[in-house]
């Protein structure tokens, strides 16, 4: 089943009202895609979801918030459309009348009107057309949001400083410290020749990763943090040499700077008899990262 053209429009800056409306449309689209994906006999190749589809019938343009085409069987298709209103005020009878026109124009089997509340006139009008279903949407209390989204954040590893000290075995401590050239150093690890620069790099990388992973970032405020680290490797076998000298131990120490970017819960909707959708966004210096989660409350259609 081919995807119908979605009539792309040039991008423009969205108003706060449009952003608010789009968040509900995104939530409904996620739920419907999940419901269809779990339905027996359906797959991503048998249904197509198009947001903000514009159709023209008899010279009249209609914008459909969500258009869904489903291939029921070879040569048989069904169409469903959704109107999403993320408004405080109640949806009125005239809104339903306009939506019925869209259902007729789209030749949809069912039209779902998703809104926070409906007037008695809107409810009565919807009952006059069996193709119309009214779905109430509400905002889920924050305490019911999955924990993973409540504390959703990213950790960015920034600058790191690593210092390496090699202790050579000797009969008497002199306290003398000598510089080490990793490019020319001849390093033998447990009897095997080893490139010291690569050995130190792999060790340091693992230290930085482990230090960052141990940081209890979940409850930390957004910002930068400097984390210290230190690790000592001992070589008691006397077979580890540096420039011909027996190595007793090597110590790697330093600091790594990490930055926490916390997520902002953008939306948390529950659509009546369909499910819940949660969306969190982390805004960082390198772009936005979005995380969504959903919980279905409607059983998938049976074959």
| pTM above threshold 0.85 | no
pLDDT, tens only, 52-107 = 999 999 999 999 999 999 887 777 789 999 999 999 999 999 999 999 999 999 99
pLDDT, tens only, 119-159 = 999 999 999 999 999 999 999 998 888 888 888 999 998 89
Q: Decide: 278 and 292 in contact? Cβ < 8 Å.
A: yes
Domains in the chain and their CATH numbers? 16-139 (3.40.1350.10), 152-261 (no CATH)
Q: Which pLDDT does position 72 carry in this prediction?
A: 75
More confident residue, 37 or 75: 37
Residue 222 has which token pair? 């957004």
pLDDT, tens only, 110-121 = 999 999 999 999
Q: Which pLDDT does position 41 carry in this prediction?
A: 63
Residue 294 has which token pair? 């959903």
pLDDT band at 3 (very low <50, low <70, confident <90, very high): very low
More confident residue, 51 or 302: 51
Mean pLDDT of the chain: 88
* Residue of 131, 127, 137 whose CA lies nearest to 111: 131
């Amino acid at each position: 089943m081919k995807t119908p053209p979605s009539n792309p429009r040039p991008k423009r800056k969205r108003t706060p009202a449009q952003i608010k409306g789009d968040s509900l449309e995104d939530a409904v689209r996620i739920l419907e895609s999940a419901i269809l994906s779990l339905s027996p006999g359906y797959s991503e190749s048998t249904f197509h979801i198009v947001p903000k589809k514009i159709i023209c019938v008899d010279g009249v343009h209609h914008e459909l918030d969500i258009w869904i085409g489903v291939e029921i069987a070879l040569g048989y298709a069904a169409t469903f459309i959704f109107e999403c209103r993320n408004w405080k005020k109640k949806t009125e009878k005239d809104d339903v009348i306009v939506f019925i026109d869209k259902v007729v124009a789209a030749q949809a089997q069912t039209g779902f009107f998703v809104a926070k509340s409906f007037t008695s006139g809107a409810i009565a009008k919807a009952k006059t057309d069996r193709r119309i279903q009214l779905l109430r949407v509400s905002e889920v209390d924050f305490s019911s949001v999955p924990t993973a989204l409540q504390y959703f954040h990213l950790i960015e590893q920034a600058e790191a400083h690593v210092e390496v000290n090699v202790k050579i075995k000797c009969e008497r401590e002199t306290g003398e410290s000598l510089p080490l050239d990793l490019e020319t150093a001849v390093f033998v690890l447990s009897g095997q020749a080893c490139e010291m620069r690569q050995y130190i790099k792999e060790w340091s990388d693992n230290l930085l990763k482990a230090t960052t992973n141990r940081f209890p970032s979940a409850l930390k405020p957004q910002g930068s943090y400097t984390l210290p680290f230190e690790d000592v490797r001992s070589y008691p076998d006397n077979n580890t040499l540096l420039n011909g000298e027996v190595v007793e131990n090597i110590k790697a120490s330093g600091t790594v700077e990490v930055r926490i970017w916390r997520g902002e819960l953008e939306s948390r909707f529950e659509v009546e008899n369909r499910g819940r959708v949660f969306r969190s966004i982390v805004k960082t210096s390198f772009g936005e990262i979005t995380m969504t989660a959903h919980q279905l409350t409607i059983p998938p259609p049976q074959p």
